[in-house]
Amino acid sequence: MLDAGSYKMRQGIPELIAGIALAGIEGVSGIGIRIEHPEDARKRKNLSRGIKAEVDQGKIALEIDVNMEYGKEFMQLAMEIQGSLKEMVAAMTGWDVVEVNVNVVGVNAL
């Protein structure tokens, strides 16, 4: 393999990948916005809102705030979110996803 330079990714790309992957999971009714994170309010129309990624030396830790649909098993759905996001972000970035923390911040009845 040719080692002809460096590999860089713009800030926000892991969050965007996670947001796109999260949109395809049944039972998740949206990404939550917590009041203690006012920077999220500026990104309301962005797929990465409510998602934080810490990248350190090729390792990624994700924290996701989600709204879940009423009547779903939250623990099972959280585990599905963790697996799906870990797989997709790792596959697309080539970096190791070391953790995916899921915070349920709301429940939607519809």
pLDDT given for residue 46 in this prediction: 67
More confident residue, 3 or 89: 89
Establish if 10 belongs to a structural domain.
no
The answer to whether residue 98 sits within a structural domain is: yes
Decide if 13 contacts 51 (C-beta within 8 A).
Answer: no
Query: How confident is the model at residue 73, as a pLDDT?
Result: 93
Average pLDDT, the chain: 84
Residue 44 placed within a domain: yes
In a domain, 68, yes or no: yes
Structural domain total, the chain? 1
Say if residues 93 and 14 touch (Cβ distance below 8 Å). yes
pTM of the model: 0.79
- Residues sharing a CB contact under 8 Å with residue 100, sequence separation 6 or more, in sequence order: 61, 62, 64, 81, 82, 85, 86
Q: Is residue 7 a part of any domain in this protein?
A: no
Does 85 fall in a domain? yes
What's the pLDDT tens digit per position in 86-104? 999 999 999 999 999 999 9
The maximal CA–CA distance of the chain, rounded, in angstroms, is 53
Answer whether residue 12 is part of any domain: no
Q: What's the pLDDT score for residue 70?
A: 92
Q: What is the domain extent for residue 101?
A: 27-108
Judge whether 4 lies within some domain: no
Task: Report the CATH number at residue 37.
Answer: 3.30.70
